[in-house]
Amino acid sequence: MVRRLPVSSITLVALGLLWAGAAVAQQRPATPPAAPAAPAPAAAAPERTVSQYGDWSLTCIQATGQPRRCEVGLQLQDQQRRLGAAVAIGRLSRETPMRLVVVVPPNVRVSAPLRLVLDADTSLAFAACTNNGCVAELEMRDDVLVRRLRARAAENPGRLEWKDAGGNDVALPLPVRGFAAAMDALGREPG
């Protein structure tokens, strides 16, 4: 059984970069403290909202002076309760196409694409890998994939498949419960 967790960041690409940054920070040797500097003005923390729709969530972030950015997504754990994959669908602005972004653990054979298995398979090429995860993405110029996800019955999940570095098949169910409602909520967002 796969345990579902709400998405915890505005973009999974940023999640991948945060994982990478955390790993780099842990590897840096400690440096002696510098002389105290004048305190910097406190920057306002971005406002973050999360709304849950079944297994999917709508996450929005509004930073001061920046447009509100929203995405629909979920995180999946494998049977050992480790992060198995994080999935997000969103766009940077109304003028740009939707993107599907999936982050999986780093033990990946990047020569084989990640596959989203629904009624038909969709391949996502791996765009980048760090020690903490690999990012696969797909620009969605039409809404065929979204329509296929919306049309699936909750008791008939899709599947994410990829090969690990040893060539072994890895698969996780991709639940669709709440996907349509989350996408409807995303469509009502102004940004």
> DSSP string spanning 106-174?
S-B-TTS-EEEESSSEEEEEEEEEETTEEEEEEEESSSHHHHHHHHS-TTS-EEEEEEBTTS-EEEEEE
Tokens of 88: 């997000």
- Judging by beta carbons within 10 Å of its beta carbon (0-12, 13-18, 19+), is residue 121 exposed, middle or buried? exposed
Q: What is the pLDDT along the chain (191 residues), one digit of tens a residue?
A: 444 444 434 344 444 333 333 333 334 334 444 444 555 556 678 899 999 999 999 999 999 888 889 999 999 987 777 778 999 999 888 888 999 999 999 999 999 999 999 988 999 999 999 988 999 999 998 889 999 999 999 999 999 999 999 999 999 999 999 999 999 999 998 76
Please state, in angstroms and rounded to a whole number, the distance separating the CA atoms of residues 153 and 165: 33
Please state, in angstroms and rounded to a whole number, the distance separating the CA atoms of residues 24 and 28: 6
Domains in the chain and their CATH numbers? 3-18+46-188 (2.60.40.1880)
- Spell out the residues 6+ positions from residue 44 whose beta carbon is closer than 8 angstroms to its own: 63, 64
Residue-wise DSSP of 29-97: PP-PPPPPPPPPPPPPPPEEEEEEETTEEEEEEE-TTS--EEEEEEEEE-TTSSEEEEEEEE-SSTTSP
